Structure 1
Amino acid sequence: MSASSDKQLQRLDEIAGSLYEAAYTNNRQAGFQQVQQLQRMMTVELRRASGHKEGWIAMEQDARSIERALVNSQMSSEWLLQAARIRLAADALVRPEHALLLQYESIMQDDLSRVEKAWKRQTGDGAIAARASMNSLEAHMKRVEPAMNLLYGSMHGAEVVERISYTNRLLEASRSNTTNDAMIDRSIIALKESIVHMYDKSGRAEVLPTTAIASTSNPLSWTLFLGAFISAILTYSGWRKYKLNPFGVKPLP
């Protein structure tokens, strides 16, 4: 990669960080300015220099979605997901060996652990509880998908996406007793293996602490992003401990 392309990627990463900061703080004016800059940065030359086509397409679609939301005066909750997806994708381009998306492996495995516990409940509503728990896993996969596509192509995470969809269908069918428990058990196991496979194929080294490689050009953006990330981990840990393991413990209202 040329020095010029490298500088452009660094700038793209800075803009993506500022865009996420604007979404997190519901600063619509700053968000509109940043998304316009982002769109101008995603030139044909830059896309040819780094990343896979599918990832760039996803980033462009997310940028257009943010622009529409801002034009229609929608709240940041309507475009925060897209801003996070762009942030993760840009970060992955600049620091692929230590990309923040790699930290999501443990979160997604934790999501699936909660699905398994919900499915094994002896209260007669295991399928309903497990299907509800699948929403978190599905949301996290959607969040990292553009970054995965950008680094490795669209086929890299396709198995995880398909297995999430298949497991959801089995759980929904189980409500009307049109599937059997063994099929769901096998599907959950296969889904777990596909997540491991997706991250193993990334060829990463051990992930270093994110703060060690964070860009210093926009520290507030990184603080907000990592704060949300850490908050998510703590929330899932608490939920796993108190909500989805209710044996002998009264569930919280």
Structure 2
Amino acid sequence: MNMSMSNKPSAFFIMLAVIVVLSITAGCSYDSNPAAVFHDEQSAALHMDKSYVALTELNRLSEELYSASNKGNRQLAYTILGHLEKASALPSVRQQGTPQGWIAFDKSLKEVKQVLSQTGSSRDWYMQAARIKLASDALIRPEAGLWLQYEDILGDDESRMRQAWQSQRKGYSEETLISLRIYNEHLQRFEVAALMQRDASLLLGLRNQLVYTEQLIRHVEKEGKTNATSIPQAFQNLILAQSHLFQGDHPSIAAQSDPRVMMPGGNPSSSEQLAILYISAIVMSMLALVGWRRFAYERRHGSPYSPANGNKKRR
């Protein structure tokens, strides 16, 4: 009887001990998951913070390069460029943006370096410095990059083109082309930033429409068709292509614009699209220069510009 009574407390304590051990074990296993989750979140936060710090440094150097180009400080710009090349090569930086954007970014860095090693005006590398600055800003502020403000600027440029064409006053076509040249310069300025955040086909669609509009204006002027309805439609397609780029809409504007703007041979690859963009920019710049020389000549002499006569005078 006494032994039976003594065994009952022992069994009770054993059961109590088992319950306590199970509770502790269960508690430990329950706490392990939150700890692992917290560790993963902390690692991700540290990684994001590291990327942000690197992007902030890239942005700071880009702003300094832009400032040096404004002041024409070639030596300072060259020093900053070296730091900028290293900062932009970091893996934590390169994982942001797009491959096409970084190809364009590296090309701008290379062109700045090439121009700085030569004699010439700071204006020659101002454009590239601006492109680098806007691209760096787009990486650190993807939702509110400075390049997005160019949508209104391009809208004003297009409005001036339209007004100049509709005025039908003397020299209206050249005024239209001058506004188009300004539009092109603004577009060149934020192209790299746009490539960091948008598909290259959207930028290519706007480029194609801009080239086509310029060619159409010259053709209509040559034919003397002052009331051509194709010009207002080209302006409208330009606005549409512009909207697609800034809003990031798909499909590409090439499917909706004038069929003569479409690229033959199917859709080009990413590298081909980028090459076409640069070729288009060069063509636009050359045509704009010819147009400006013609306009300036007519204003000075009051007679049509003749390249042949101009060459004879220079001899």
Per the shorter chain, which TM-score range? 0.7 to 0.9
Whether the aligned pair in 2 keeps the contact of 1:148 and 1:156 (CA below 8 Å) is no
1:35 to 81, 99, 115: 81
Larger Rg: 2
What is the deviation of 1:181?
A: 1.3
2:24 aligned with 1:24, yes or no?
Answer: no
Task: Report what 1:193 is aligned to.
Answer: 240
**CA distance, structure 2, for counterparts of residue 165 and residue 98 of structure 1:** 29
**SS of 1:69 mapped into structure 2:** helix
What is the deviation of 1:132?
A: 1.6
Whether the aligned pair in 2 keeps the contact of 1:86 and 1:146 (CA below 8 Å) is yes
1:62 to 79, 102, 108: 108
Matching of residues 1-253 of structure 1 within 5 Å:
2-43=48-89, 45-46=91-92, 48-177=94-223, 181-201=228-248
1:10-34: per-residue Cα shift (whole Å, max 9, x none)? 1100100000010011111110011
Whether the aligned pair in 2 keeps the contact of 1:105 and 1:195 (CA below 8 Å) is yes
TM-score by length of 1: 0.75
Report % sequence identity.
28
Whether the aligned pair in 2 keeps the contact of 1:115 and 1:131 (CA below 8 Å) is yes
Whether the aligned pair in 2 keeps the contact of 1:59 and 1:86 (CA below 8 Å) is yes
**SS of 2:82 mapped into structure 1:** helix
What is the deviation of 1:69?
A: 1.1
**CA distance, structure 1, for counterparts of residue 92 and residue 208 of structure 2:** 31
Q: CA RMSD in A?
A: 1.7
The structure whose RCO (Cα within 8 Å, separation 6+) is larger is: 1
Whether the aligned pair in 2 keeps the contact of 1:149 and 1:156 (CA below 8 Å) is no
1:202-242: per-residue Cα shift (whole Å, max 9, x none)? 8xxxxxxxxxxxxxxxxxxxxxxxxxxxxxxxxxxxxxxxx
**CA distance, structure 2, for counterparts of residue 143 and residue 98 of structure 1:** 17
What is the deviation of 1:48?
A: 4.1
1:137-175: per-residue Cα shift (whole Å, max 9, x none)? 111111111000011232232211111110000011122
Count of residue pairs brought into register by the alignment: 202
**SS of 1:170 mapped into structure 2:** helix
Structure with greater proportional helix content: 2
Whether the aligned pair in 1 keeps the contact of 2:88 and 2:94 (CA below 8 Å) is no
Task: Report what 1:212 is aligned to.
Answer: none
**CA distance, structure 2, for counterparts of residue 153 and residue 54 of structure 1:** 9
